[in-house]
Amino acid sequence: MDKNLAQQYGYEPPISLLLMAGDVRKDKGWRNYQEDYGFSETDIPELVRMILDDNLYWAMSDKIEVWSPIHAWRALAQMNAQEVIPPMLKRLNEQDDEEENNFDDWIGSEIIAVSTKLGPPILPKLKGFLENPRHNKWGRAEIGECIERIGQQYPESRDECVAILMEQLKKFSRQKKHLNGTLISNLAALQAVEAADLIEKAFAVNRVDLAIGGDWEEIQIQLGLLEKRITPPPKHGWLDFQLRQEAKEKNPKAQSDDRPFGWTAAEITSQKRSKPVKRLKGGKKKSKKRR
């Protein structure tokens, strides 16, 4: 252990061992933190502090200690410590997908993994984050997926998860299309046929981002309510269709052609883009932090 590093950040063993734990991408899976580092319930407060330590969380990507908050929340999840959720939600809400220097491309996938491990007892905390319109849209979309995964992993909680997602979708007229699209995608993944009428209403008033899961026909197929499409799908995919729709809403007089939206003539000629661009759920992108 690097004693200077431990002194610099103010952590004592065994918590300080995580400062040198290193890049999680080199691990085949999660480590056994209690066995490998000797953590116990008495270490929970300091592990939470490590997640909230800005000097660690936003350290430069080439610093070994930048990985310690990830190790900390994984350790807490393995101890079934629900105390891990509030600091992770705080980190999730700090993300700014418009500002690359304030975006961590790990928190989204990690909070899904941690939430799935902790299961139904944390649903109230996730619901509280999801229903708060002041929280960022990317974070709320990720929480929708957390709830979806819990419903899939713990069948006894499926109805509760569907109810939470449906309650949020009822606000479709006041929410961003992107959030509505992700909620519908979550409900479809849970085979929530009971939400079909609500979902149809959101589509009927054009309050759904089609780039996420397609149109109402696509959702009906996922729910088993429709065997196959009645109308042909967009020629260049749903992202292209959604971008065209948004452009037309901004400028109804704009002329359209049959080329994929946003492609240059050179790209079309060289066929460099043979497939439509896929919009990652929640608008994820690379950051400068950990690569």
Q: Other C-beta atoms within 10 Å of 291: how many?
A: 9
The pLDDT, as a whole number, for residue 262 is 58
pTM exceeding 0.75: yes
For 56-108, the pLDDT digits (tens) are 999 999 999 999 999 999 999 999 999 999 999 999 999 875 555 566 779 99
Distance from C-alpha of 232 to C-alpha of 29, rounded to nearest angstrom: 42
**Total structural domains in the chain?**
1
User: What's the whole-number mean pLDDT along residues 264-270?
Assistant: 44
Is 231 buried (19+), middle (13-18) or exposed (0-12) by CB count in 10 A? exposed
For 188-222, the pLDDT digits (tens) are 999 999 999 999 999 999 999 999 999 999 999 99
**Token output for 155:** 């069948």
Task: Let me know if residue 68 belongs to a domain.
Answer: no
Distance from C-alpha of 54 to C-alpha of 66, rounded to nearest angstrom: 10
Task: Let me know if residue 74 belongs to a domain.
Answer: no
**Is the dihedral angle over the CA atoms 173, 179, 101, 1 positive or is it negative?**
positive
Decide if 73 contacts 51 (C-beta within 8 A): yes
User: If you average pLDDT over every residue of the chain, what do you get?
Assistant: 87
Among 69, 18, 14, 22, which Cα is nearest to 43's? 14
Task: Let me know if residue 44 belongs to a domain.
Answer: no
Q: Which residues contact 216 (CB under 8 A, 6 or more apart)?
A: 199, 200, 203, 204
Task: Let me know if residue 180 belongs to a domain.
Answer: yes
| Cα 202 to the center of its chain, rounded Å | 22
Which structural domain, as residue segments, surrounds residue 199? 80-270
The pLDDT, as a whole number, for residue 107 is 94
The pLDDT, as a whole number, for residue 244 is 80
Q: How would you classify residue 10: left for phi > 0, otherwise alpha for psi between -120 and 50, otherwise beta?
A: left
Task: Let me know if residue 127 belongs to a domain.
Answer: yes
